[in-house]
Amino acid sequence: MVVSIPLIASHDELSGAIAPLSVSLVIGAFVFGAAMQIADGCGSGTLYKAGLGNGFSLAVLPGFIAGSFLGAAHLDRWLALGSLPPVALPDHLGVAGTLAVQLAVLGAIAAWLWRKRVRTDTRWQGRAIYLGAVLLAAFAVLNLIIAGQPWGIVYGLGLWGAKIATWFGADLVANAFWGREAQQLHIQSSVLTDVTSVTNLGLLMGALIAANLRGHARPSTQASGKQWLVAVITGLVLGYTARLAFGCNVGAYFSGISTGSLHGWVWFAAAFAGSFIGIPLRHRLGLKA
């Protein structure tokens, strides 16, 4: 954020993850927040765990692809329910003002979490978590510089779905989203020409390599028929609602806030609220924590 916002402000060729404040954003993020608790992962989490060979995530992924494709195809109908223009905070507060406000809010959240932390919980201790955070920020900035846009997940998955639908004979030219010239070009071109697809594939491959290095590359498929069905349906919901909300934890929340878009904060609040529904639902469905 402290690097990306000034970069975007000083380089016209770079763009932020800016999206409108719409009814679809609130509904999509809320339902996505619930669904990601059931799936035990968002878009990036699904890709990562699928690459590790997690059977549940391997079942979630095709549903996510289909849902993202359908959500994009229906997005115009959802936007018709009501939408306010995008709000790029640097345009209103300036770069320094945006950084000051967002860092203050994030600092307050961090302080609250630190006070509420469970002393016996060791998952967030050690050097690895801090190293991971630094590397995540560094690679996000590199993605912005090289691709000219922030890191995203959901568009690439929807594009894979559009390619599959086209391969089966679907005509998407008349669709409000997939019929656009830029989208048609992506559908007709190699998947490797799409930045989001390349980073998605990198996530899958990186996780697979890590699993092989640890000797855990064999897929885990211990699940009941009910759990497989829940996985596919949850993936479909995740993909669909992520498109309504203009992204998932990465594209809307992480990239939205880090590039100064107000919709990133709205996404965070709605998804956080949805999580309170998703957590008990996960337990009711008999899924392991």
Residue 88: both structure tokens together: 């790029």
For residues 218 and 55, the answer to whether their CB atoms sit within 8 Å is no
Predicted pLDDT at 128: 78
Residue 207: both structure tokens together: 């996780």
* Cα(12)–Cα(14) distance, integer angstroms: 5
DSSP state of 251: I
pLDDT higher than 60, residue 289 = no
**In 3-state terms, the chain is what percent helix, strand and coil (to 5)?**
70, 5, 25
* Cα(162)–Cα(68) distance, integer angstroms: 9
Number of Cβ within 10 Å of residue 22's Cβ equals 24
pLDDT higher than 90, residue 31 = yes
DSSP state of 219: P
Q: What is the pLDDT of residues 83-125, one digit of tens each?
A: 999 999 999 999 999 999 999 999 999 999 888 776 555 566 6
* Cα(164)–Cα(169) distance, integer angstroms: 9
* Cα(50)–Cα(240) distance, integer angstroms: 19
Contacts of 158 (CB under 8 A, 6+ apart): 65, 68, 69, 71, 72, 239, 243
Q: Quick one: which of 64, 58, 7, 114 has its CA closest to 249?
A: 64
Tell me phi and psi for residue 123, to 5 degrees: -65, -25
Q: What is the pLDDT of residues 207-228, one digit of tens each?
A: 889 888 877 666 666 667 788 8
Q: What is the pLDDT of residues 114-154, one digit of tens each?
A: 887 765 555 666 787 888 889 999 999 999 999 999 999 99
> How big is the chain, counted in residues?
289
Q: What is the average pLDDT across 177-203?
A: 96
* Cα(273)–Cα(87) distance, integer angstroms: 22
Predicted pLDDT at 283: 87
pLDDT higher than 80, residue 32 = yes
